[in-house]
Amino acid sequence: RRSNDGASRQKVKRTGSHNVITRPENITDQVYRALRQRIVQGEIAEGERMVEAALAEEFNVSKTPVREALSRLASERLAERIPGGGVIARAMSYEEVADYLEVREVLEGLGAEKAAVRAAQSDIAKLESIIDESEAAGANGDLNSYSVLDSAFHTTIICMGDNIALKEIMPLLHDKIRVVMKASVALPGRFPKSVEEHRSVLRALAEGDPREAGAQMRKHIMSTRAAVMERLTSQNSKQEQ
């Protein structure tokens, strides 16, 4: 039975590449989270259309919660409405990506400084484990796992610093650029360089040196930004040919 009001009796559960509704919760929120995750992880490609009827059929809900979920995604600029009707996963411009990474450099540098002051041995051990796992994933060519672990590394550092504003802002910022970040790792030589940069940040955190931790994190984000922009420039050149 379908709901017409976005109030929910069931929860979205992922099964393979699809979702089904399994138990009580708000339907609009479930659909929103499921679609948001697909966009952020690149399962819904930039420019790909999200059809209300098809999604309603897949989730076994009415069109109303799907429409509301798509509106929320559009308000976050993860999706956009196109002339003639319909909603697509929004492609970020070169300038937008550059701007987001510029802000990330400043905020993550601050986050690393905060983390260095509060770092416990358990935090350092956790980061070491994440780096080791990410190195193994990258060496095996598993970029999906590497992307998840890379995000975990940065998120852990922000949480260590325990700054309320950073903990609220940074996950949103990471989600905005996760797809292009993931693609940049495939550039020749980028993966091992990124791992070594993570280790440099970790060393500064382990030493409890806020200034060095911030400097190493900013250096890492600057390097990442260069790789991402190189990737985007290459993509744009191919599209123009």
Q: Is residue 80 part of a domain?
A: yes
Q: Is residue 4 part of a domain?
A: no
DSSP 35-82: HHHHHHTTSS-TT-EE-HHHHHHHHTS-HHHHHHHHHHHHHTTSEEE-
Q: Is residue 54 part of a domain?
A: yes
- The enclosing domain of 74 has a CATH number of 1.10.10.10
**Mean pLDDT score across all residues of the chain:** 87
Q: What percent of the chain has pLDDT over 90?
A: 61
68 and 53 in one domain? yes
Q: What percent of the chain has pLDDT over 70?
A: 86
Contact 46, 91 (CB under 8 A): yes
pLDDT at residue 241 in the model:
56
143 and 81 in one domain? no
Q: Is residue 201 part of a domain?
A: yes
Least confident piece of the model among 7-21, 48-62, 66-80: 7-21
Residue at which a domain ends, from 89, 115, 145: 89
**Residue 156 belongs to domain spanning:** 94-240
pLDDT at residue 20 in the model:
56
Higher pLDDT, 130 or 43: 130
Q: What is the pLDDT of residues 45-71, one digit of tens each?
A: 889 999 999 999 999 999 999 999 999
pLDDT classification of 240: cutoffs 50, 70, 90: low
Q: Is residue 137 part of a domain?
A: yes
Contact 232, 181 (CB under 8 A): no
Least confident piece of the model among 26-35, 106-115, 174-183, 220-229: 174-183
Residue at which a domain ends, from 57, 89, 121: 89
Contact 158, 120 (CB under 8 A): no
Q: Structure pTM?
A: 0.78
Q: Is residue 4 pLDDT above 50, yes or no?
A: no
Domain count, the chain: 2
The average pLDDT across 131-142 equals: 93
- The enclosing domain of 181 has a CATH number of 1.20.120.530
